[in-house]
Amino acid sequence: MISTASLRRIGTRLVASLVLAGGFFWMFRRGGLPLVPPASSFEAVSWPMLGAAFALLMVVSFLRTYRWFYLLRPMGETDRWRTLAIGLVGYGFVVFAPLRLGEVARPWLLTERTRIPFLTGIMTTGVERILDGMCVALLLLVGQVLSRPIDPLPTRLGTLPVPVYIVPGLAWTAIALFGGLAVALMAFYWRRAQAHALVVRVVRVVSRPLAERVATQLENIVAGLATSFQRDSALPYLRDTLLYWGLNIVTTFLMLRATGVPATMPEAIVVLTVMGLGSLVPAGPGFFGAYQLSAYCALAMFQPEQLVLRQGAVFVFVSYVTNLAVTTVGMLVGLALLWARGRATPASGEPAAVREP
């Protein structure tokens, strides 16, 4: 049963998310950036190539979701289909729930249906985000080195000032952010005593008993993650992550070409990664607004304004709709799988390797 306070917080986030969506909608209409391109713009679309991109996008979605199983297997999760179902539903909540509220969906569903504690689930998804963030940052850096942006970069698109100039610095900012988080995790593992003392010093300002509990919880979680990243689980996870990002790049390249944007592979890498970083910006449900703005910024680095506002708009629209469609279908498939397997009690078999203290 959801408490009144939780419902109030969800309602507040939903209202804020809808306000943001309305603000983005007004901004795009005012600035002349098409949200829905005119029908004539679709005459240049290669539908067979777009179909191939859509098929690859479904494979990408599967890989992104399925690889989580390898992090959970050492903790006692042995049901691949249950992990896949939870992941598909969880990613649906990430996309559609207001202001990233859906990030807790996967850990919560995992705790409800397995013996893996909620905080451990949170940490596995956090590690996943850090590794993906590093992949995005490094790929953006590679894409920028291998591509040839317009010089000078445009300062507006339509009548809207577009912050294209910030894109070149995003790679280093992202590397600093996600690299710092990775270093913090490694420090907690390799220097546990010092990290424990630091957490206690910081949290005891609020409560001394809470400080010890938080530090102990973190130690247990990091120990559990160390178990997850043994050779037998880490290698398949990293393999699927590399496949996921590689196919994601090919999908973006095909979709750009299919919609009439003459992008190169390095340019496709930049477009994909800028859109990925754009998803971190507060936006409406479905990442509405941030998705479109980041895509237009990336396209404006390489293509003339007239092409961006015509075929570029087709790419933005088609890629957004297809991503929402794949996410929605995946969420429905996940719900069907969970329903078919029943309202699961904690998993049978071996207990989880990590438990709440």
pLDDT digits (tens, 9 = 90+) for 7-18: 777 788 888 899
Between CA 224 and CA 123 the distance in angstroms is 9
Q: Would you place residue 348 in the very low, low, confident or very high pLDDT band (cuts 50, 70, 90)?
A: very low
Cβ pair 180, 169 in contact under 8 A? no
| pLDDT of amino acid 343 | 53
Give the pLDDT score at 227. 64
pTM for the model stands at 0.87
Residue 352: pLDDT band (50, 70, 90) is: very low
100-122 pLDDT, tens digit per residue, is: 788 889 999 999 888 888 888 88
Q: Give residues with Cβ within 8 angstroms of 153, minimum separation 6.
A: 164, 165, 167, 300, 301
Q: 10 Å Cβ neighbour count for 334? A: 23
pLDDT at 83 over 70: yes
Which one is predicted more confidently, 292 or 182? 292
Helix 265-278 vs helix 167-190: crossing angle, to nearest 10 = 60
pLDDT reported for residue 357: 35
The sign of the torsion formed by the CA atoms of 271, 264, 246, 176 equals negative
Q: How far, in Å, are 73, 90, 217 from residue 333 at the CA level?
A: 22, 12, 34
Q: How far is CA 318 from the centre of its chain?
A: 19
CA distances from 190 to 129, 195, 314, 357 (A): 21, 9, 49, 21
- Confidence category of residue 184, pLDDT binned at 50, 70, 90: confident
- By C-alpha distance, which of 95, 93, 71 is closest to 83? 71
Q: What is the pLDDT of residue 349?
A: 41
Give 285-335 pLDDT, tens digit per residue: 999 999 999 999 999 999 999 999 999 999 999 999 999 999 999 999 999
